[in-house]
Amino acid sequence: MVEGLPERGKIWYNGRFLDWKDAKVHVLAHGLHYGTGVFEGIRCYATDKGSFIFRLDDHIARLYRSAELYKMTIPYTKEELKNAIKDTIRINELDACYIRPIAFYGFHHLGVNPEGCPVDCAIAVWRWGTYLGEEALEKGIRCTFSSWRRIDPNTLPVTAKATGHYLNSLLAVLDAKERGFDEAIMLDNHGYVAEGPGENIFGVKDGLIYTPAIESSILPGITRASVIELARDMGYEVLEKRVKKEELLNADEAFFTGTAAEVSAIREIDGVKIGEGKRGKITEEIQRKFFDVVNAREERYMSWLEPV
């Protein structure tokens, strides 16, 4: 059973702090009917040096870019929203949390054209552990290739993190769970590996690291970009390319990256062991580096951390 969210504290809603139970949306809100929202998932880490939000500017930039791709105008400046995020963390007295800002078309009329609908904005924060479980970080998870293809860039702007896009992710997750797997891996419309329903994917072969390129219909993950940079700084070669299903099955190691998933090892795909069927050495090394960085133990990457 998936655990519910803690219904306490305050939610920032259109510039005001409301009690958790009062932050409600009308049943005729445009976003509810047509999936017209854009959002982010961000993490704030409690470190020895204080609380830090990981790559806040990059997440805010992606949020506004997602809105632009859907011609939606967020009625706050980036700076205002950044400050609202920090205020929300402070007012809820959290040292570490998951942060969910969302902007969506609210209630005005019901037609596909959102003209006249307000753009409502909310920010919620809550304490959240590992997304795929502790086991995902250490032992690795069991995945399956989904029969549902990742949405195609000729259908939707796939680089936008938009609420409606997650119907595609939902189908892949439900299908994987029904068949007894921990997580799905989706292919793009051309049959190349794209990503997980909420994670980017990496493979390792003979010491070389690779990940599907933007051309494979992926969401350009901020954790993905961070891991590419960290791995290169660690001396690894990282390729962004088209990845075939078989190539991933033959990988020595594979792992997911994402704000929620952080760096999670993949130990098996459709019953085929990846490498030795456990978290690989390079995965572990990158994972360690990633956690050192987000926990403010790496001077070199402090610019990625925004103090609360």
Catalytic center residues: 161
- 307 contacts 296 by C-beta, under 8 angstroms: no
Tell me the closest approach of the beta carbon of residue 21 to ligand PLP, in angstroms: 27
From the list 14, 20, 33, 41, which residue makes contact with ligand PLP (rule: CB under 6 A)?
Answer: 41
Total chain residues near ligand PLP (CB under 6 A): 15
Tell me the closest approach of the beta carbon of residue 238 to ligand PLP, in angstroms: 15
Distance CA 229, CA 126 (A): 29
Which residues 244-263 are close enough to bind ligand PLP by CB under 6 A?
A: 257-259
CB closer to ligand PLP out of 20 and 128: 128
CA distances from 294 to 30, 57, 75, 238, 298 (A): 37, 15, 30, 21, 8
CB closer to ligand PLP out of 109 and 288: 288
Q: Should residue 100 be labelled a site residue for ligand PLP when binding is judged by CB under 6 A?
A: no
Tell me the closest approach of the beta carbon of residue 206 to ligand PLP, in angstroms: 26
CB closer to ligand PLP out of 99 and 274: 99
β-pairing verdict for 50-54 and 37-39 = unpaired
Distance CA 48, CA 295 (A): 8
CB closer to ligand PLP out of 223 and 283: 223
Which residues 161-220 are close enough to bind ligand PLP by CB under 6 A?
A: 161, 169, 195, 198-200, 219
Q: Should residue 101 be labelled a site residue for ligand PLP when binding is judged by CB under 6 A?
A: no
Tell me the closest approach of the beta carbon of residue 145 to ligand PLP, in angstroms: 16
* Residue 166: Cβ within 10 Å count: 17
Burial 179-192 (b: 16+ CB within 10 A, else e): eebbbbbbbbeeeb
Tell me the closest approach of the beta carbon of residue 264 to ligand PLP, in angstroms: 11
CB closer to ligand PLP out of 34 and 131: 131
Distance CA 252, CA 51 (A): 36
From the list 44, 173, 222, 269, which residue makes contact with ligand PLP (rule: CB under 6 A)?
Answer: 222
Closest CA to 132 of 180, 199, 41: 199
Q: Should residue 224 be labelled a site residue for ligand PLP when binding is judged by CB under 6 A?
A: yes
Binding site for ligand PLP (CB under 6 A): 41, 161, 169, 195, 198-200, 219, 221-224, 257-259
